[in-house]
Structure 1
Amino acid sequence: MGVSDASNIEAQIRTLVLTRRIRPSEFFIDFDRLRSGFVTELQFFRVLWENLGLKLSPEQQQAIIAKYDTKSNGNINYRVFCEIINQPFQANDLGIDPRNQEAQAKEFLGTERSVQPLGQDEEATLDALLRNLQKYYTYRGINLRNCCEDFDRHHIGVIEESQFYRSFPRPPEVTVEDLDLLVKKYRHPERHGLVVYLNLHHDLTEIGKQAVRDEMNARLGQMNITDLLPPAENADVNLQQILDKIRVAVFKNRVRTTEFFKDYDRHKCGMITENQFQCGLALAIGKEAQLSRSEIQVVGEFYKQPNGMVNFKEFCDMLENAFNIPDLDKKPTQVVVRPPVGALGRNLVTLSDEEEARAMEVLCVMADQVRKRRLMMYQYFKDFDRSRAYSRVITQTQFGRILHFLSLNIAPEDFKLLCRKFRDAETGDVNYPAFVQTVDRDFVNYTQSQTLEESRMTPPPSAKTREITDHTISAPNIQQEEITYEDLMARIRHHVLTNRLRVIEFFQDYDTLRSGSISKPQFQRGLSVLGLSALGQHRLTDAQLRVLCSYYQSPVAEDKVLWTKFMQDIESVFTQPKDLEKMPSHKVPPQEIFRVPKPGTMDWRFASEDHKALHDQVMQRLQDKANQRRILTKPFFEDFDKHNNGYVTTKQFRQCLTMLDLKCTEPEMEALEARFCNDTGFNYIAFLGELQPTEKPKLMYLERQKEVREVNQRTKNPEVDPSRDLEVILLKIKNRVFKERIRIYEWMKDYDKLHTGRMLKINFRRALDLCKFELKESELAILEDIFQSPVDPDYVEYLQFCEAIENIFTKNHMEKTPLEDVQVFSVADEWTQNRLSEEMEAQTLDALQRIADQVRKNRVQLYPPFEDYDRVKNGTVSRQQFRRVLKVLSLDSLVPGENDWNGLWARFQVKIGGKNDVDYNSFAKTVYGMAGFGPNP
């Protein structure tokens, strides 16, 4: 029992695994919790039996154990076993051809074609029958598998012979003998009476695929190469130029050249015939690279081998790595060859000298019209370019329509000349971005090339243009000004501080190796994203960029910039130095020193005294006039400020002053412009701030904080009308308990866990608050003192309190006194509990007697006037309403003094919703009773 036996077992297992399409490692890993790669022998053979259905004999098990028990500890290395099973061949066995070691999967579920071999005539008949069946099924869209699987209950690809005869879709020309031949061929080798219909379905599918491949090869073999190529231009061509042209075309069009050659290479050896190479190259890149027949022949001759075959593999490897080096991650010091400038762009066609001169003349005229009329041409051309991903070309008809729409009409000969000048080499259409960039100096296309940039057309200056230029004030040339590093850094720090930017976020993505340095183009790109560009808030000129790049240039590489040093210098506006936690006594300068005015702002400290005096004089005069007339000046300036940035032009400033009737002389106007102007324009916000200064809003935060502290420090509000009598307090509680049927004991027993009858005073107050009796602090203190526990002064005898309150319903121990009469508790009116002094009581009774006499004499109805004010019908009115009703009834004269009114209010006072009102029902009943008749006289 040796290695050969283990290899045979592995081949058997490998075939079974490939047939069932399973991964054996997934079953072993469940037993390997520590992921050590080892399982026990029992677990190993258990997986083979339960998951693969493979029962090994004892001899075979010993062979497997001898090979994979590497540590001789009873554990089998299943990881090495799975690697060998998953390998298509033995990589270490170099003595055998790998193609002879490949494990071929069985046809279906482990079945094999172990039938009796058919004769030569039967095989030929069967082959013709299968081809006819394939054509018949393909034409009618019949799927044999779908027809037979209804009888296959277990979906194993096998049905009975009778079921096969019933379900087989038979063409009219197929006889019963043909069906017998199919059954004989595809009968199951081990199970008698069954037919493997799935093998027949796979054979028909493979015949269909082979028919398609044969038809494709036949078409390619009959194809003439001259039909795919442009006519030959020049037989004497340079090979390097041809290869460069093909390389650029492949790179630009993203062509996978291998896909056009590999179908010819049946043996996968990298060799095809010369005719096949020419056909594949023409199909792949012939049109895009504008290859002629002679150029393709030159390339084929270069890669032609001595045996007459062409090595297309070497040719495709060269194209796939056109501007790249394979395995570049293993060659970090290798220099990648970049394409020349403009090689990947769409270069313009070179015409003859006469045609170039005429084209330049036409383009100069069109550029002059575009500049004068301020035309934006690119949008009109782009509307016609609706192909996928924007091809940036349009047809000549569309090109002429757009020129006519823009009123850029030219002669037909000139139009044809422009079409040839901007003709795209691949499509033959017009390259409209190149044309727009040529005639429009404000348009910059992102696909421009070097030749296109050099071919910009500048219109010759006319006499009128020279005349206007001579009388125009030239703007200062920023690039010619002296640029200092300190001023430039101050401007950048101001920009970063104002917008609260983190500089590291704009540069760290370019520094993938965290070396602290990036290339100069990447540094400029980061500055542009930071906002230091023409589209941002501050534009850096080329000279300023050169100053920054030269100052922060890396000492190791000349094309690198130390962006980390630049970041530290800029972010010093927020904090400095870097290790501030190590220097607690260091004083950080305020951020205000890093703020700088806009470029072009005049430093007023260095202005002359006469200039300052003139400015102060005109500002005082304008301020007096504006305040006298109460002019609202800001809306006039905002109408001109379309961008809402606080700036207008000097002409707009003068126009606004004229509209506001604030007249100034020319010297005064120049003084104002010198004070408030910069490169952006006239700062009207600062001007209006001095002309009509507004009071700054007072910061009330500190004052509000002070008031909140005072309110929080105040003591509790004094009590209003607290009761000092225990009987009154208990009566208030009894009335509330009687009305709402409250059981006080249920709220208090939870605080007495031991059922002692006592509870803490704080819990006593908490329980009364839960009952919502609304007792005041002094009233609670009276109850605590009365019911204080004699055992512990911190406790209250709440059971005694509950008995004193609940005696309104019944008395305790009634079973001992059955003859005792129990008085029913009744809730008295609230006004009856009001107590007046003897003097006020007598004065109030006199007032009520006078009112009762008047009511008896005039038979006055008291209820209707009061009910008009009682909207909620609760029997109460306010004091003012009470006094108003008596005035309406002409009874107010009987209550002459305020003391009398206060007595009436105090006698019939009730508390409703926290407010003291008057109970007019009780008042009317009392008056009617004193008058001697009922409420309805």
Structure 2
Amino acid sequence: MAPAVASVYKPISPIPGSYAPPASVSPTSTLVPTVETVENKIRAHIFAKRIRLVDLFADFDKLRSGLITASQFKRCLFGAMQSSAPLTETEFEILVRFYGVPGEFDANGKGEVGGGRVKWVDFVDSIDKVFGAKKLESTPTLYIPSPHEVVIPFPPPNPLLSDVIDRLRQYVKHHGSDVKTWFKDFDKYNGGYITANQFRRGIPQNVMSQEEEDLLVEQYCDKVTGSVNYFKMNTDVNRKVKRTRMDQAKLVKKDKGENVENEKVPIGTEELLHAVTGYWPQHPSVRLIEEFIQKQVYRDRIRLIEFFRDYDRHNNGVISEGQFRAGMERTEIPLDDTQMKILINAYKDKEGRFMYRKFCFSIEEIFTKSNLLSDPLAEVHPPTREFLVLGINELSKAEEARMEIILNHFRTLMRERRLLLAPFFEDFDRKLGRNVRGLVTRSHFSRLLSTMRMDVKETDLHLLFKKFENKQQTKVNYIEFLRAIDPETYPTNRPLPGTEVRTPTSGRRQQTVASHAAVLQTVMDRLRYHAATKRIRVSEFFRDFDKLRCYSIPRHEFIRGINRIGLSFTDEEYEELADAYADKSGKKGCCKWKEFEQDIEKVFNDTNLESQPTKIPEVANVNTNPFTSADFLTNEEHITLRKTMKSLAEHWKIRRTSIKPFFKDFDKLCTGHVTKIQFRQCLTYLKVDVSDAEFEVLCKRFSKSAATRAMEDEALEPRDNHPIKENAERICYLMFLLELNNELEGLLTDPTASNGATDQKILKYGKAIFAGEKIDLPAPAQTPPKRSKVVLSPSEVTNLLTRIKVKAKTERIRVIDFMADFDHLKHGKITKNEFRRALKVIYLNLTEPELETLEALYQNTFDPGMVNYVQFSDAVESVFTHKGLVHAPTMEPTPFESSAVDPMLNALTESEQKILDGVLVRLREKVRQRRIDVLSYLEDFDFVKEGTITTNQFRSVLGTIKLPVDDAEITVLARRFTQDKNMDRINYRAFAAMIASGAGERVGGIW
């Protein structure tokens, strides 16, 4: 260790070139620094510049003897210290005298100074202590001092200088100035150095005395050049001073009595008057502090050992006290200095270092027990909720009675106004994007109550603080408050299914074998439907539990994996699944999750088809519309539902309000569902008077869970005692609107309910309501009766496919591009509705029988509700080329002949035939006289050379070559040479051939 500051200087006789003493030292005696003082000066410079002295000295010691001459020693020191703090001649002689070889120097360090040798290795080892101890591999328990313990500043800090700097800092802050502006005019090159006289002239007047100016000049003066570095003084003045917080936080002395938490302090000042550690005991025990850290670690899922491992370079399980404090600060666990000292004293070893590994193992006992390898049968239980969460506080009987009145008032407001307070509290509870903690300050709590118009008296407000405040953190537990005033929306937490130990008589119902089978079938149907619609792979939820890959896991882990799939079941349903897939091969208490996975994933396809290539896959049927039945309602609820729907239809018959936009405002993602509270709000906005009982029936009928209850067997007991939770159940408003629309149509078409034309207007208006369309529409015509299904003949099917192919070749249509967007799984099939939508975009003139024919022609073999669009696309694109030419390079593709059209398509009447004969005779004569090549003119508009052009292009060409025709004649020509029923394109080659022939011949009455 370095010597004390008092022994740094020794009075000796003056030596020329020695260090000048500071102003605070008495001028009666001249002081010369000791060896330790000079070394501290070098250490401070070396540590600040991060210089390794061994690289400077090793070049002069060729034989690696550890000795160099005094002149070489001086050159190395001069090269290391010349930048900021060069050594004086006296300091150099002191080092040479101390590290010189005995006998080569005299008693005063003189004599053979140039020829004497110096032990530079010992000098470098002494200086490098500032970077840490060396050769720790041989002495691993050696104490490693910190740099501030090794380096003693030279000269020692002057209290008077600190006062001067503080005064300058206050002056600069008060006047809004800067130190650089005082001396900027003297420093033309902006180098940061000016003379001492310029420095004195630049200091403002009446700020400091002459002695204080001399002190500043001496502090910031360069020992070599004699100039003053005012940049360095500016840095010291502008340096921020660390302010203490705890001392300033305790502004008011608190009474340590037992009723300190009930003190009615002004709202907003509780964090000043009640410190965070105010509820801690004055001398807490180590166990109490560890329990507090365990709660924080378990809540935030902190891996505590990772914050200390980087400090333990040798992996010996111990670190220094400062490193432990630094690691705890990074965890952001609020501990004061007293609690830190208690932990350090408890886990300190004999050498004063902190045993962090032992501390981390003690804290991580909350997750699991240590040394489980030696006790594999030990049972590990999670911490109880009472240990982790501090519940509500207990009050006296009078206060509890008053609190019940306040809570009942809040419950009434929540029920009448249908409020949802949790999002408002969570906005104040989030910290830097982290999860909510369930705590807010008193100010936030009172502010939210006032914002939501739930104001109470000041005495009642402080009574709420006393009831729901967390005493350890002096904040209000709003989670418990919400559970007290809104128990339906925020019920009490229950353990996850499968975490409790199963007993033979754990409340299960006595059911018959048929009932067990019905329950199991219902649950499996729900799981298959959920897996098919969400595209879920069941193995992802069980694979992590099966470490040995034996496809058998414990019963409680099997139930936990089912719960992770995303559906909620009752305890009886979980037990039925566990019993059905119990492992009977010898592993008691285990379930075969692989068999369960195979049964669920039958909805996608059969497994192991690669070993059975001739097997026809059997796809499990999935109920795609779970809202088609309401058999789970009782008779009374059916009657209530019918009355409610009829009254709603009567209401909208009178009000004529557009309904769907109200629900779509809440359905941002267009899922077709809203929450229970949003469904109630929409009915309120529409001014519908529905009682609570009727509303519950509507929720049961149109809730998302109705899909699961609709598939239950009638023999099972109804689960009406399970209320619909806001966070779990959602209402399908689309099904509600559809059923209400049907009810409205039935009401308006009833002859006893309305009359004639008025009924038709109201019926049309009701449909527009649910479709979200405009209501100012003309009265619709009578709906034509539905035509019976028409089956096309083989010739008509051939003509239909030919028309489709001709259009695809003419307009260069790639059919698969219009249908592949509907196939998200890329399995080559889409639904019939999607197939129709794509065809309507490409071919607008297809009739209903033609669409039905195409659907039946390309229907999927294994799934009747799907259409194989890839096969249809290949058939249409055969007009361009033959598919698979890569595998048959010598094959000659057959060109597509578009002449195979309907022979009755170009049939004309007698009047039209007369017009055609006249125009053809006139056109032939014109062509013969003028020698016109009609075909060459028409081919200019046929860019793809497929033999057809549009009707407008045909008429334009005839006008260009001076073959005029009127509207009637062009209509007849278009009908005669058209390729489709709409007469969009004309076969110009047949027309040109007929014009160029000598006389037109008739074949069967047709040209």
TM range (shorter): 0.3 to 0.5
Larger Rg: 1
TM-score normalised by the chain length of structure 2? 0.38
Higher helix share: 1
